[in-house]
Amino acid sequence: MLTRKQLDLLEFIHSRVKRDGVPPSFDEMKEALGLRSKSGIHRLITGLEERGYIRRLAHRARAIEITKLPEALDKVETFVPRVIEGDKTDGPQPPANALPVETHVQTVPLMGRIAAGVPIEAISEVSHNVAVPGQMVGKGHHYALEVKGDSMIDAGINDGDIVVIREVTTADNGEIVVALVEDQEATLKRFRQQGSTIALEAANPAYETRLYRDDQVKVQGRLVGLIRHY
C-alpha cells in the first residue's frame, strides 16, 4: 500500500511522462510535492521502486520507468467512454476527476538523425514513418528524429531515442528545440535568447553552451515527446 505522498509522486511522474515523453527532474518533483529537499524525493522514489511501481535505469539521467499503476490511477487511465450521437455516452460515466484518454495513434515522418552533441548536417529527407500516441502530437505538423549523442542526457534524452517534434519557428526560453545553425547544421538543444544572442544549451556538463547571433539560428521545431526502445 502506498502513502499519500508516494501516490502523489507516482501520479505526477506518470502525467509528466504522458505530456512530455520524459520523466520530470528531481527539482520538478520536489516543487510539485512541496518538499524542501531532494532527499525526500529520493526516499519516495526508493519506496516506489521497492514496491515495484517504478524501475530506475542504470547510468541514465532522469530514467524512471513506471512498471505498474495503483488500481485507482489505472482505472482513470483505462476508462474509455464510447461516444454516440454527440455528447451522449453508452455505459458507465467516468469519475469527475477522470482525464480524457485518446486511444488512437498517428504516424509522423522520421526525418533521419539529429545531433544531441556536436551539430550534424541539416535534416531534409524522410526515412520512414513512425507511429506515436495521438495525445502526444495534438494539433499542427510533426516529425520525428533519431537522437545521436549524449548532450541531452540530463533532460532524459539518450542516444538512440526517437524525439517527436512539433514544427514551429519560435520558442520560449527553456524549451528544447531543433535548431538549424547557419543553414547547415541541425542540433537538439535547450533554447535561450537574450537580446540578439541565442544560447543553445546542452543538458550534460561535458558540453559547453554555444552562443550565436539571432540571425545564425533558425528554430525548426519544439520537442513534444520521446519514444524509447529497450
Specify the pLDDT at position 25: 83
The last residue of a domain, from among 81, 97, 114: 81
Kindly state whether residue 219 falls inside one of the protein's structural domains: yes
Kindly state whether residue 139 falls inside one of the protein's structural domains: yes
The last residue of a domain, from among 40, 66, 81: 81
Q: Are residues 10 and 42 in the same domain?
A: yes
Specify the pLDDT at position 107: 81
Q: Are residues 133 and 214 in the same domain?
A: yes
Specify the pLDDT at position 38: 80
Q: Are residues 51 and 163 in the same domain?
A: no
Kindly state whether residue 99 falls inside one of the protein's structural domains: no
Range of the domain at 118: 105-227
The last residue of a domain, from among 48, 81, 114: 81
Taking CA 136 as the corner, what is the angle to CA 223 and CA 75, rounded to the nearest 5 degrees? 140
Kindly state whether residue 90 falls inside one of the protein's structural domains: no
Q: What SS3 state is found at 178?
A: strand
Kindly state whether residue 89 falls inside one of the protein's structural domains: no
Kindly state whether residue 206 falls inside one of the protein's structural domains: yes
**Minimal CA–CA distance to 17: which of 67, 80, 72?**
67
Q: Are residues 76 and 125 in the same domain?
A: no
Active centre residues (catalytic): 151, 189
Q: Are residues 151 and 48 in the same domain?
A: no
Specify the pLDDT at position 148: 87
Q: Are residues 54 and 121 in the same domain?
A: no
Q: Are residues 77 and 110 in the same domain?
A: no
Q: Are residues 70 and 130 in the same domain?
A: no
CA distance 201 to 151: 9
Q: Are residues 222 and 171 in the same domain?
A: yes
Q: Are residues 127 and 179 in the same domain?
A: yes
The tens place of each residue's pLDDT in the chain, 230 residues long, gives 678 888 888 888 888 887 777 788 888 888 888 888 888 888 888 888 888 888 876 655 567 878 887 765 544 343 333 332 333 334 444 444 444 444 466 788 777 777 775 554 555 556 678 777 777 777 888 888 888 888 999 998 988 888 889 989 999 999 999 998 988 888 999 999 999 999 999 999 999 999 999 999 999 899 998 887 65
Kindly state whether residue 220 falls inside one of the protein's structural domains: yes
- Residue 52: which CATH number? 1.10.10.10
Q: Are 155 and 91 in contact (CB under 8 A)?
A: no
- Residue 170: which CATH number? 2.10.109.10
Q: Are residues 76 and 111 in the same domain?
A: no
45 phi and psi angles, rounded to 5 deg: -60, -45
**Minimal CA–CA distance to 224: which of 179, 181, 177?**
177
Kindly state whether residue 97 falls inside one of the protein's structural domains: no
Per the structure, the count of domains in the chain is 2
Residue type, 185: E
Q: Are residues 121 and 75 in the same domain?
A: no
